[in-house]
Amino acid sequence: MTVLSNKRGVELDEHMPVAPPEPTMADPVARRSIGESVRAYVALTKPRVIELLLITTIPVMFVAAGGVPPLGTVLLTLAFGTMSAGAANAINCYIDRDIDAKMRRTRRRPLARAQVTPARALVFGITLAVLSTAGFALAVNPRAAAGSLFAILFYVFVYSLLLKRRTSQNVVWGGIAGCMPVLIGWTAVTDEITWTPFVLFAVVFFWTPPHTWTLAMRYREDYAVANVPMLPVVKGERRVIVESLVYTYATVACSLLLWPVGGMTPVYGAVAVVLGLVFLAEGHRLLKAVRAGMTGVHLRPMRFFHLSNVYLALLFVAVSVDPLLH
């Protein structure tokens, strides 16, 4: 019975703490090496998600500067932006620790594997939030700090706590937090807001639902088990693909709108057109497949998901290069 109690204490320490009576059964969190602990805390920040956010931040700074932005501003924005996104992600891991343990895609996260205690994860996230906000305010400017703080609070309170487990439109409105790096990058350089960053904001906003929904199609059973009402869980595949295609058209339209609004060159326009056609073609492939009666993995939704990553990355590369051509 002693062994059983200790095992349950490890797996459910946030609900049922059990003091191990024997030294050999010490809490695995306490026994981890420094390297293992560092890797666990880094994993809490979801580095792959942060990479995607930075892809949209840096190019906007080039447009805002009308060329190469000040290196110091770029480095400070990247540093505090990484901390800001990491803060939101770490707190999200704390909030979602129960459902993360149920899903194949997330069950290897640090809290799901008891690599970090919930209390430490929460303190870590809050600490990053305070440091990132203070860093932006003191080293960049107050507008960038306000944008960073808004993104954290929106992701935590609106998306994670209010929307995610209650509505199939969770990623539509929750995606606003993921669009904020565009405004943060712009204000970090200019300390003001114009229409151009809002057009780029709209690109990311409309891009997020089809990107996320096609991933959710692949992990539909996971979300169903965790009782998260993602659109592919509550609606049929045809409905998901049709809505995804509508948002894809909106994404491409906003990318083209940037051409006149942002004063971009024909080079950017040509790149945006080609990328948009490829992106839309993949969306129509999905629609044609579902109309032909294909379902599940035969639809190959992950092909659209991966292409959406490539689309956004290349589009923002074009955004960053275009100011250098003027």
For the chain, list the domains and their CATH numbers: 33-191 (1.10.357.140), 194-326 (1.20.120.1780)
Say what the pLDDT of residue 297 is. Answer: 78
Say what the pLDDT of residue 89 is. Answer: 97
Say what the pLDDT of residue 29 is. Answer: 54
Instruction: Measure the CA–CA gap between 258 and 253, rounded to whole angstroms.
Output: 9
For residue 164, give the 3-state DSSP assignment. coil
pTM of the full structure: 0.88
Residue whose tokens read 């955004």: 319
- Cα atoms in the Cβ-side hemisphere of radius 13 Å centred on 62: 18
- For 94, the token pair is 């704390």
Question: Which residues in the chain land under pLDDT 50?
Answer: 1-27
268 contacts 258 by C-beta, under 8 angstroms: yes
Hey, what's the torsion of the CAs at 76, 80, 81, 87, to 10 degrees? Answer: 170
Say what the pLDDT of residue 21 is. Answer: 40
Say what the pLDDT of residue 31 is. Answer: 63
Burial (Cβ within 10 Å: 0-12, 13-18, ≥19) of residue 183: buried
